[in-house]
Structure 1
Amino acid sequence: MSSAPRKRSDFMLQRARIIAEAGVNHNGDLARALALVDTAARAGADIIKFQSFRADKLATPAAAKASYQQATTGGGQSQLEMLRSLELSESEEREIAAACAAANIGYLSTPFDADSATHLVRHVGVSAFKVGSGDLTNAPLLLHLARFRLPVILSTGMGTLAEIEQALGVIAFGYFREEAAPSTSRAFSEVLLERRAWSMLREKVTLLHCTTEYPAAAHSINLRAMASLREAFGLEVGFSDHSVGIHLAVAAVALGATVIEKHFTLDRNLPGPDHRASLEPDELTAMIAAIRDVESAMGDGRKIPAPEELANRSVARRSLVVTRRVCRGERFSADNLGVKRPGNGVSPMEFWTYLDQVAPRDYEVDEAIEP
């Protein structure tokens, strides 16, 4: 990863894009999908994301469900059967995208096969791709996506730095070798030796740190890995959050995440694989509000008084005063000089400057020293 150019650490000045992950929480129902669009828009999300797939191209009949899927949907059907019940048709995807445009929220979908990706570009009009963690090593799909030369948001759950670098090599090859077919996987690492490849990756690719478990326990999240990704590759880094609650997503923004992705649902008690690990509408709204507060609070890093603080200086700070009556000609000393509020007089930093000076006039108790 030493070939990756470094990027200036100005991430704290950016506004995170918030992706409300609808995923398959529509349960194959268009009306519910449209309700999810409305909910995400009202919550203030920048983007709502769905999933585009054909079950028969994604899993074989022998594919088992993940343990969390068995826990949420039972073991009575295979993964393939479950996926078939969660598909959206191409016409439904177009209708959802139109609803997003009307609601002024971005539409995004994760394609799980080449045909779905092509449909999203040619018939839905997506302007970017989101790649799920499960396809981090799916070189044929990554190459197909990169051929469209669109931005890619790449989740890295279950991945190592070496696997992420390989994926970036595939994407860079697709960006720059539009017609060429790789002869071996070595072609992907070779393209990363070109400076322009990293320039293009910095422009178009965002890496999402992720823990692929639903829900993911806090101890497994490892938010500091975002810094490792940023250091290794010099790309924008975000967080795809599978934990319970909103606090870790908010913490990720404070650590510089430029994208936050979080599952949400209309009702956590609905049947389906992902509802239990998703936010409900009021929680999504609260998360987005908290993230925007954190971004506002991050500031620009300069340690100067906030304008709102200036009026409190005289109230909270202190000035030099006499602690007993002092007559003209008497010398100031530790016995007759002290510091008290308000702070609109001589700064206590000058305490030692005034020691042994001659009082120019009479001072009453608690009267402020004149500069």
Structure 2
Amino acid sequence: MIWADSTTVSQRVRVIAEAGVNHNGSLDLALRLVDAAAEAGADAVKFQTFKASAIVSRFASKASYQKETTGTNESQLEMVRKLELPLQDHHALLTHCKQRSIEFLSTPFDRQSARFLICELGLERIKLASGEITNAPLLLAVAQLGKPVILSTGMSTLAEVENALGVLAFGYLGSLAPPDGAVFRDAFVSSAGQSMLAERVSLLHCTTEYPAPFEQVNLRTMDTLAVAFSLPVGLSDHTLGIAVPIAAVARGACIIEKHFTLDKTMPGPDHRASLEPAELAAMVSGIRQVEAALGSPVKRPSQAELSNRSVARKSLVALRPVQRGEVFSDGNLGCKRPGQGLSPFMFWDTLGRAAVRDFDEDEPIEY
């Protein structure tokens, strides 16, 4: 099953601490990242699984932010080769995650890596990166393995998201028809396909830039995704700081993914736009506070408020000494704390009435 149902108010928000490639190829550093994520209170720590030569051609250039963080002397392929996490290291990380009671997740970037994560490591769900939303062969291979998918949607249009969901639906249904656009569309619109997607897919809104400018985050897009596809929606956040993911939870995000590192000054493409451990812990704490604060949509006094009502509200009182039989008017009738007597809503009903007894100044009115 997927992690969260976006229609359930009390559902716990799941926090994915994105270690990504911030291990710099070191198992020791990767294990320390697991520790930091667990100590920060994250629900899962996520890495990336790939064979560089299978996903990057020798002609691929670096992204602008990668050139800024790692220079221009090496190609993207050369950079990515140094960030591979050997398959044997995955076993060690999985074991360590179990010891630290945090879920191990990873993003596969090729079909062989997806099969390794699900068939050998036994992962219960797969996270797919924004760059793979048009990689139909990978989407299909992952869906055919039957596990739930968390799909990031950075750089995409609604139509591209729908196309990707069509591939996933087709794969989940186990159809024997030859794959093509028409059968993907049929799978997406079918009741069985929609049921499979609802059971197994979550979407993450994302702005694929490192760091992402605040004015280009467009958190309202989460609402659009939720309405368009009736699926749980969260945020994969690349902004600096922790304000945006906390705000996303207030807007209904059920999953938050955020890059983190042990040290932002480390060499590598993603460290600079990542949180350090103390910031990650602060983000998790803020998310927990916001999800607790969301509470119920019913407007009624909370338990914590009840004892304060009589203190904060007012009652009808005599503004000066009033003798028995004297008529109440604007000059001798007013509203003051505490709210233990007649409600100020009775003010106009009381005007013109004769006092039933003597009242001292500030004494609550009765009749």
TM-score by length of 1: 0.96
Partner of 1:30: 27
Residues 178 and 27 from structure 1, CA distance in 2 versus in 1: closer, same or farther, beyond 3 angstroms? farther
Equivalent positions of 1:52-201 (< 5 A) are 52-182=49-179, 184-201=180-197
**1:242 pairs with 2:264:** no
Report the 3-state secondary structure (helix = DSSP H, G, I; strand = E; otherwise coil) of the residue aligned with 1:18: strand
**1:316 pairs with 2:312:** yes
Residues 304 and 358 from structure 1, CA distance in 2 versus in 1: closer, same or farther, beyond 3 angstroms? same
- Tell which deviates more after alignment, 285-294 or 303-312: 303-312
Mark the runs of 5 or more structure 1 residues left unpaired by the alignment. 1-7
Partner of 1:263: 259
Report the 3-state secondary structure (helix = DSSP H, G, I; strand = E; otherwise coil) of the residue aligned with 2:364: coil
Amino acid at match of 1:78: S
Q: Deviations over 1:309-329 (max 9, x none)?
A: 111112111110111221111
**1:349 pairs with 2:326:** no
Partner of 2:229: 233
Count of aligned residue pairs for this structure pair: 363
Report the 3-state secondary structure (helix = DSSP H, G, I; strand = E; otherwise coil) of the residue aligned with 1:361: coil
TM-score by length of 2: 0.97
Give, in whole Å, the separation in 2 of the partners of 1:32 and 1:123: 23
**1:279 pairs with 2:275:** yes
Give, in whole Å, the separation in 2 of the partners of 1:257 and 1:52: 26
CA RMSD, Structure 1 to Structure 2 (Å) = 1.1
**1:253 pairs with 2:262:** no
The Cα of 1:342 is off from its aligned counterpart by 1.2
Partner of 1:223: 219
For the 8 Å contact 1:319–1:346, the answer to whether it is kept is yes
The Cα of 1:9 is off from its aligned counterpart by 6.9
Amino acid at match of 1:212: T
Q: Deviations over 1:11-42 (max 9, x none)?
A: 54321100000000000000000000000001
For the 8 Å contact 1:176–1:197, the answer to whether it is kept is yes
For the 8 Å contact 1:53–1:113, the answer to whether it is kept is yes
Q: Deviations over 1:209-249 (max 9, x none)?
A: 00000000000100000000001000000000000000000
Report the 3-state secondary structure (helix = DSSP H, G, I; strand = E; otherwise coil) of the residue aligned with 1:57: helix
The Cα of 1:97 is off from its aligned counterpart by 0.8
For the 8 Å contact 2:6–2:253, the answer to whether it is kept is no
Report the 3-state secondary structure (helix = DSSP H, G, I; strand = E; otherwise coil) of the residue aligned with 2:203: strand
The Cα of 1:194 is off from its aligned counterpart by 1.1
Equivalent positions of 1:200-215 (< 5 A) are 200-215=196-211
**1:50 pairs with 2:47:** yes
Amino acid at match of 1:347: S
Residues 317 and 282 from structure 1, CA distance in 2 versus in 1: closer, same or farther, beyond 3 angstroms? same
The Cα of 1:178 is off from its aligned counterpart by 4.9
Partner of 2:289: 293
For the 8 Å contact 1:128–1:150, the answer to whether it is kept is yes
